[in-house]
Every structure is written in structure tokens, then in C-alpha cells.
Amino acid sequence: MDKKQTFSLWYVLAALVGMILLQEFVVPRHTQTLTYSEFKQALAAGKLDDVVIADGIATGKLRGDGLEQILPKDKLEALARAGGEHGFATVLVNDPGLVAQLDAAKVRYGSVRESKWLGALVSWVAPALVFFGIWWFLMKRMGSGMGGMGHMLEIGKSKAKVYMQTETGVTFKDVAGIDEAREELMEVVEFLKNPDRYKRLGGKIPKGVLIVGAPGTGKTLLAKAVAGEAGVPFLSLSGSEFVEMFVGVGAARVRDLFEQAAAKAPCIVFIDEIDALGKARGVGLTGGHEEHEQTLNQLLAEMDGFDTNRGVIILAATNRPEVLDPALLRPGRFDRHIAVDRPDLNGRRQILEVHVKNVKLAPTVDLAVLAARTPGFAGADLANLVNEATLRAAKRGKDAVEMQDFEEALDRIVAGLEKKNRVMNPTERKFVAYHEAGHALVAEHRKNADRVTKVSIIPRGIAALGYTQQSPTEDRYLMRRSELLDRLDVLLGGRVAEQLVFDDVSTGAENDLQRATDLARHMVTHYGMSEALGLATYDARPRPLYLNGPTLPEPRTFSERTAEAIDGEVRRLLDEARERVAQTLRANRATLEALAALLLEKEVVDRTTLDGLMASNAAPAQLRVAAMALPPADREP
């Protein structure tokens, strides 16, 4: 709860107390309700004064003494208890003679309550005030949780929410295992340290750097380290905090953020979860379009508007780069992308080392063993592991953290992560290893395929469980048919390897199959690469998913028979590719096994290692030995 909310809570309390006081003063201290007959008798006895008749109710002053004949005992007692002057109230009955009696009793009377406005205040305005206060208070609370309406009263003032640190105290020493990302950000640090030298040399400074990676891989940590290394302030804000109910609030907040950044320059602005704010426009079926677009447009405008020479660099983090609006990624905006992967074996050991720096370890603890047992762990998971183990050791009153503590902590964390589908079980890992080995091996055996630079079974992002990285040898403008066919083969390599080794297949090939199908269809319908369908092109554009434009579905320009022929040709291309791939993999089964085993052990296989492996393929005797030493696959076909 922030300061403002506490204040509003006080307002509500004050309103309540005020209302109670008001009631105390306006309404006589003790009011006795009289029946009409009691009222008449008291009147006749001359015990009433200042009678006010309004709305069918008579009120006034009641003299407390000498009422024994008139009032019952309980009312007398109440009067006695209250002491002093009393008021009375009574509900009138239809009594035309009342005025005459009042006259006869020489009582002052009137028909309009003198203090009507006060009464109205008490009975109507005050409760309204209280309700408003409560509403306001609730809204404020909601506002802190989900960016609700509470900020209506402070539009655009994101000052309370921008989290600023003049010194993060984090340096690159605290970031381990993601060296590539670190090196790329070094440049930003250099610039922030010596902007003038950089400018003189005409260096091109990125305005925005997008850090892409799974949760907990150290994106925030990296951004803080950049600020720490450069010794500049670190302003951070989460993308979800820009998302507001009211049109214009998010945009005002963006403006505000950039104003603050300009004032603090040189500095780092870090926008976490930028996908919340930078989702592609026109996507999403729920409301809030206008607000969302305004916010995003404002961000784009601000990024275009300021120049890097002022020393403000925007870092943003996301784990869903695919949903970002393409406009955000254009040159001059977030045109620099840095991927942070989950760490590999070596990286995990380094991260563990960072986190045990201030922990007393028993000599039994072997970080290399722990690193080997934590495939798929992100930096945050490893930090958590060290923390849990330390807590366990402390709870048992140990002087140092022992391996046993780590093992117990590990069991618990792994169970938790498996439930969340964040780490793979051993069978899954094996599938992924053979799958990726299949891709890589096919690529190695295709003349026209891009070179494999890296094979990995470290889960990347949400969908990909492993990946085989290929880099095109040159920029391409044209692709030959033979190249496309080879590409098709590489795409199918994963699935075919699964089939070959396990005699079973997994869902892991979905993306591969989709891309292969798209490619085959394009070859048939766009590139004229199918004999059966000739040189004609067939535009079978799918109907747009969201009908928010004048893009009505186009009529198909070809017949049902042609459609069938296209499907048949696509199918034929894929089937033939599968046959070719199966042949290649069968002929190189030993290499496939060797590569998969290596992947299971090391998680990442780079080009050099792959070269060595391929070379040993040329020496069959050696290979057979290597293959025999490997763990067997689940089921040999």
C-alpha cells in the first residue's frame, strides 16, 4: 500500500467521524418517542415547548419533570437516565383539533423545521460522502493491483510508479552464463560512459534494445548491470502498468516517463514485459483498442522524437517477441535484439558460482554435479536452488551448506518446475535430442542446405524444446528448386529421426511440419515447381483471421479439381522428402546416435564439435565403438 492510499483511508475515517459528530449536535441529545396519546396528555399538562410539525411528525422540547401520570415507567427511567433537557418525537394522527390545543396551551409551534438543510445534510449528503469515500478508497486499491480507475485523479502521473535507482549496484560480474548477451550490451555501456568519444567517431548508437528470453533468464539483471557498469540511473517500469482503462492515461504515462528520462539523462530506461504494451495493433478481440493503440503510438512517437545523443537508452524485455507490433521493431526503435537463452551446463555452473559467493559451502558440494543435474534451469531457478539449500542448512543448524541440502532442495524445485512444464523429464529430453540430431544430420548431408552452426536441446522460449541453428552462407535473393527441396528435408529431419529411433513420434514436430507444408505449398502454387500443375500460380490466400478491415475473403480463382491436385502435389513433395530423409538417417544411424548422445551429455553442440563428429564418421571402425558405448534408445525399430 503506498502513501496515497493510506491518505485516502484517513479521509474515509474522517468522514465517518464527522458524520457521527454532526448527528450528535444536530439531533437533540436525548429524544423520547411518544405515542400520540402521550403527546396529547403532555401537551395538555403543559410539558411541551417549541413544537415543530413537519412531514406528519411532531418534534420539540419535553420537560422531564412531572410526567409520572403520563408516561410509562420505562420511558420515565430513560428520561431520568438521560437527565437535562429532552427532546421528543411523535408520529401524528389525523387530528384537526391539534392546532387549537397548541394555541390553548400557549406553546410556540411552527410547521417547517428550522434546520431542514442540516437534516438533509445528515440524512443524505453525509452518507453520499461516505459512499464516495469508500468507492474512492476501493478504486485506489484496485488501481495499485491492476492499473484500474484509481489513477483517474492523477492522470499521467506515473512518478510514483517509475522505479528509479541511482545506483543499481549490479555489475556484469553478477551476470553469468549468458556471455553473448553480455558482450552485446557492453557496447551500450561504452557509449553511456563516453558518449562524446562515440559521437566523434560516428558510432551508431542503438536507441532501443530488446532483450528476449524466457522468464528468469536474467533480462532484468542484465539491464541493471548495464546501468551499474555505466554508472547511470536506472528507471524501470513494467509494460503492464501502462495498460489502463481510460483512454489517454497510458499515453500520458509514456510521455511522463520520457520526460523523467530526459531529466535524468544519461540513463537507462527499462520496460519489462513490453509485450503487454506493445502487442500488435488490431489484435485481440476484447475492448480497449483505442487506449492500447494510443499508448503504443505515444511510445513510438517518443522513441522517434528523442535522439540518442542525449544519452537515454531504452532497454525492453519480453518473452513473447512474436506478439510485438512490427512498428516497434523498426529501425530507430527496438532495432537491436538480444536473445538470452537458458544457460548450458557450463553457464549453469558459472551462475551457481555467482550465487554461492556469500554462502558457506561444505567441501562435499560439487557445483559441476549440480549444474549437470539442472538441465533447463534458468538463472532464477538456480538462484532459488542456492537459496533453498541455504535455508535448509540453516534450519538444521549446520555451519555450512552440504550437498545433501542441495539435493533435497533440488528435488523439490524440480518437482515444482515439472508441474509447470518448465523442465523436461528424461524421456522427453531423449526425444528432443534425437529430433535435433536428425535435423542437424540431414543438414550436414545436403549439399544445398545452410550450414549448421549450433545444435541445442536447451528449451528456448515457450514452444521450442531444442533448436538447430543454421546460418545462410550468403544473403539470398533467389532460391533454387534443389535448395528448397533440401530445406524441406532438413525440416523433416527431426520427425523422421524420432520415427526411426523410437518407432514413435511426438508433438515436438508441429512447427517443423507446418513450415514444411507451407514451403511445399508455395513451391506448388507460387513457384511453378510442380510438373503436375505447371507454371500457373494459384492464389489461395486464407481468409484473414480478424475481420477488422475491408479485406473480404477473395473468391478462389481455381476449380475444386485443381484444389485437389494442389493438395496431392503438396502431399507428394512431403512424402518424397520423408523417404529421402529416412534413407539418409538410416545410412548414418551411428552418427545420429553419437550426436544425440553428445547432446544429452553436453546439451549444446557447436560447429567444431560437429565437425569432429562428422569426420569420425569417415572411420567406420572407430564409430562402431563409439555407438556401442552410447545409451541405447528406448525402442530400436
Q: Applying CB under 6 A, which residues contact ligand ADP? A: 174-178, 213, 215-221, 317, 351, 354, 379-380, 383
User: Of 494, 520, 590, 596, which one interacts with Zn ion (CB under 5 A)?
Assistant: 494
Taking CB within 5 to 8 Å according to partner kind, which of ligand ADP, Zn ion, none is near residue 424?
A: none
Question: Three cell numbers at 107?
Answer: 406553546
**Which CB atom, from 410 or from 540, has the smaller least distance to ligand ADP?**
410
Please state, in angstroms and rounded to a whole number, the distance separating the CA atoms of residues 610 and 533.
Answer: 40
Return the half-sphere exposure (C-beta side, CA atoms, 13 A cut-off) of residue 192: 26
Residues 529 to 588 in contact with Zn ion, rule: CB under 5 A: none
C-alpha cell recorded at residue 136: 474512492
Q: Which stretch binds Zn ion (CB under 5 A): 111-119, 188-196, 294-302, 493-501?
A: 493-501
Contacts 24+ apart (CB under 8 A), 382-386: 382/343, 382/348, 382/351, 382/352, 382/355, 383/351, 383/355, 384/413, 385/352, 385/409, 385/410, 385/413, 386/352, 386/355, 386/356, 386/359
* Residues paired with 452 in a beta bridge: 470
In order of 25, 498, 502, 508, the CA distances from 598 in angstroms are 87, 17, 18, 20
**How far, in Å, CA of 41 to CA of 21, rounded?**
33
Cβ-in-10-Å burial (0-12, 13-18, 19+) of 513 comes to middle
Residue nearest to ligand ADP (CB): 379
User: Cell numbers at residue 499, please?
Assistant: 520415427
State which residue, 371 or 600, has the beta carbon closest to ligand ADP: 371
Q: Which does 178 bind (CB under 5 to 8 A by kind): ligand ADP, Zn ion, none?
A: ligand ADP
DSSP lists the bridge partners of residue 60 as 88
What are phi and psi for residue 484, nearest 5 degrees? -65, -40
Least CB distance from residue 403 to ligand ADP, whole Å? 21
Find the part of the chain contacting Zn ion (CB under 5 A) among 78-86, 126-134, 401-409, 507-515: 507-515
Closer residue to Zn ion (CB): 60 or 494: 494
- By a kind-dependent CB cut-off of 5 to 8 A, residue 280 interacts, out of ligand ADP, Zn ion, none, with none
Q: Which is nearer to ligand ADP, 352 or 596 (CB)?
A: 352
Does 498 bind Zn ion (CB under 5 A)? Our answer is: no
Cell triple for residue 335? Answer: 532495432
The residue (of 239 and 494) whose beta carbon lies closer to Zn ion is 494
Q: Which does 494 bind (CB under 5 to 8 A by kind): Zn ion, ligand ADP, none?
A: Zn ion
88 or 431: whose CB is closer to Zn ion?
Answer: 431
What, of Zn ion, ligand ADP, none, does residue 354 touch, CB below 5 to 8 Å by kind?
ligand ADP
Which of these ranges, 341-349, 394-402, 504-512, 618-626, lies near Zn ion under the rule CB under 5 A? 504-512
From ligand ADP, Zn ion, none, interface partner of 129 (C-beta below 5 to 8 A by class): none
User: Minimal distance in Å, beta carbon 140 to ligand ADP?
Assistant: 28
Place of cell 520415427: 499
Task: Indicate the residue among 319 and 537 with the shorter CB distance to ligand ADP.
Answer: 319
What 3 state SS string does 202-244 have? CCCCCCEEEEEECCCCCHHHHHHHHHHHHCCCEEEEEHHHHCC
Q: Is 333:207 a contact under the CB 8 Å cutoff?
A: yes
Q: Which does 273 bind (CB under 5 to 8 A by kind): ligand ADP, Zn ion, none?
A: none
Check: CB of residue 110 under 8 Å from CB of residue 53.
yes
CB of 21 to ligand ADP, least distance (A): 51
Least separation in angstroms between CB 509 and Zn ion: 6
Least distance CB 263 / ligand ADP (angstroms): 26
Cβ-based nearer residue to ligand ADP, 274 or 485? 274
Q: How far is the CB of 170 from ligand ADP (least distance, A)?
A: 8
- Answer with the entry of Zn ion, ligand ADP, none that 565 interacts with (C-beta below 5 to 8 A by kind): none
- Return the sign of the alpha-carbon dihedral for residues 323, 328, 330, 332: negative
- Of residues 178 and 210, the one with the C-beta less far from ligand ADP: 178
Q: Which of the choices ligand ADP, Zn ion, none does residue 215 contact, using the CB cut-off of 5 to 8 A by kind? A: ligand ADP
Which residues, including other chains, have CB under 8 Å from residue 546's CB and lie 6 or more apart? 282, 283, 285
From the list 115-123, 475-483, 506-514, 613-621, the region that binds Zn ion by CB under 5 A is 506-514
Active site residue 322: no
Long-range contacts of 300-305 (CB under 8 A, 24+ apart): 300/327, 300/328, 300/333, 302/254, 302/255, 302/258, 303/207, 303/208, 303/332, 303/333, 304/332, 304/333, 305/258
Distance between CA atoms of residues 364 and 350, nearest Å: 18
* CB closest to Zn ion, residue no: 494
Of 271 and 598, the one with the shorter C-beta distance to Zn ion is 598
CB contact at 8 A, 335 and 206? yes
Which residue stretch of 152-160, 445-453, 489-497, 570-578 sits at the interface with Zn ion (rule: CB under 5 A)? 489-497
* Beta-carbon contacts of residue 430 (< 8 Å; ≥ 6 apart): 596, 600, 633, 634
CB 467, min distance to Zn ion, A: 8
What number of chain residues touch Zn ion (CB under 5 A)? 2
Cα angle 459, 465, 466 (rounded to 5 degrees) comes to 80
Give me the catalytic one of 229, 302, 436, 593: 436
Which of residues 413 and 490 has its CB atom nearest to Zn ion in the complex?
A: 490
**Which span sits near Zn ion by CB under 5 A: 217-225, 260-268, 490-498, 549-557?**
490-498
Name which of ligand ADP, Zn ion, none residue 512 binds, using a CB cut-off of 5 to 8 Å depending on partner kind: Zn ion
Q: Which residues are paired to 336 by β-bridges?
A: 209
Taking the complex as a whole, the smallest distance from the CB of residue 606 to Zn ion amounts, in Å, to 19
**What are the cell numbers at 322?**
512474436
Interface residue with Zn ion, options 256, 381, 512, 569 (CB under 5 A):
512
The C-alpha atoms of residue 490 and residue 474 are separated, in whole angstroms, by 18
Does 376 contact Zn ion by CB under 5 A? no
Gap between the Cα atoms of 351 and 423, Å rounded: 18
**β-strands 336-340, 267-272: how paired?**
unpaired
Q: How far is the CB of 512 from Zn ion (least distance, A)?
A: 4
Integer Cα distance of 609 and 615 in angstroms? 10
Least CB distance to ligand ADP at residue 168 (A): 11
Query: CB of residue 342 vs Zn ion: minimum separation in angstroms?
Result: 18
Which residues are part of the catalytic machinery?
436
Footprint on this chain of Zn ion (rule: CB under 5 A):
494, 512
